[in-house]
Amino acid sequence: MCPKVETSTPPKTPQPIGPYNHIAKVGQFITIGGTAGVDPATGQLAGPEVYAQTRQILKSFQVMLESVNSDLEHIVHINVFLQEMRDFERMNQAYSEEMGAHRPARTVVGVNELPKPGVRLTMNLTAVTRD
């Protein structure tokens, strides 16, 4: 029997800007698609700069992961797509503050353009459930 793929976008997280859900889960394996630093309460960017947007992305990830029995400490890998590599240090500062001691594998890529105006970065991840 093939495992079922469950998809969702939990409340209190940014709404996708396209025809997709943020989360896909198969058994204990979780992926979260590209997420920008949008405050779900307002639908607006958490701020104009990379620090505030990075913090918001990781807060949204926490909410998303909780909805599928996981958390930031169960992240296996994160991809970061930065529009400007000059934002690397400020992104790392916010990332370190939100992630605490957990240091999953990570890839950072510079990109030319992102789909939502004002977005400085997006991130996606792979994680596992707590059990």
* Domain presence at residue 1: no
Which residues make Cβ contacts (< 8 Å) with residue 40, sequence separation at least 6? 12, 13, 14, 15, 60
What is the domain count for the chain? 1
CB 90 within 8 Å of CB 62: no
CATH classification of the domain holding 77: 3.30.1330.40
CB 122 within 8 Å of CB 22: no
Pairwise CA distance, residues 131 & 129, whole Å? 6
The parent domain of residue 25 ranges over: 6-128
* Domain presence at residue 51: yes
Residue-by-residue pLDDT tens, the chain, 131 positions: 788 999 999 999 998 989 999 999 999 999 999 999 999 999 999 999 999 999 999 999 999 999 999 999 999 999 999 999 999 999 999 999 999 999 999 999 999 999 999 999 999 999 999 98
pTM score, whole prediction:
0.96
